[in-house]
């Protein structure tokens, strides 16, 4: 369950589509995908937050999640609520390419 989102920035950065949200087996395996970025490669990718170390697919260094501070308990509390706060909560996010706060997430649809 979640959103299909894509990161775009005025500098021309465009990510692949990210299936953001929790897997249907979330309660068994804790798999949850959230957007993360790599400043050295200037890319935004969807990464599994249940792993303690999420690697950049290009340089293999640790990626940074846009939401480092989401607590597991918060997710369980608000489960069922849309996790589309990337679209609503904040308009502009850090762009790993131009290093400005001009990145936006666009909704491409929903998945389940």
Site string for Zn ion, 61-100 (x = CB under 5 A): ----------------------------------x-xx--
Burial class (CB in 10 A: 0-12, 13-18, 19+), 24: exposed
Report yes or no: 105 and 85 within 8 Å, Cβ to Cβ.
no
Min CB(17)–Zn ion separation in Å: 18
**Would you count residue 58 as binding Zn ion (CB under 5 A)?**
yes
Tokens at 32, concatenated:
């949850």
* Cα gap 92→70, rounded to integer Å: 18
Select 4 or 42, whichever has its Cβ closest to Zn ion: 42
Please report, as ranges, the residues that interact with Zn ion according to CB under 5 A: 9, 11, 13, 38, 40-41, 56, 58-59, 95, 97-98
């Amino acid at each position: 369950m979640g959103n299909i989102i894509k990161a775009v920035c005025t500098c021309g950065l465009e990510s692949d589509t990210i299936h953001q949200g929790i897997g249907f087996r979330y309660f068994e395996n804790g798999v949850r995908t959230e957007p993360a970025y790599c400043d050295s490669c200037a890319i935004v990718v969807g990464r599994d937050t249940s792993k303690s170390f999420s690697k950049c697919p290009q340089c293999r260094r640790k990626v940074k999640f846009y939401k480092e501070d989401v607590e597991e308990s918060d997710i369980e509390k608000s489960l069922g609520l849309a996790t589309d706060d990337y679209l609503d909560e904040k308009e502009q996010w850090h762009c790993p390419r131009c290093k400005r706060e001009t990145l936006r997430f666009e909704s491409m649809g929903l998945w389940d």
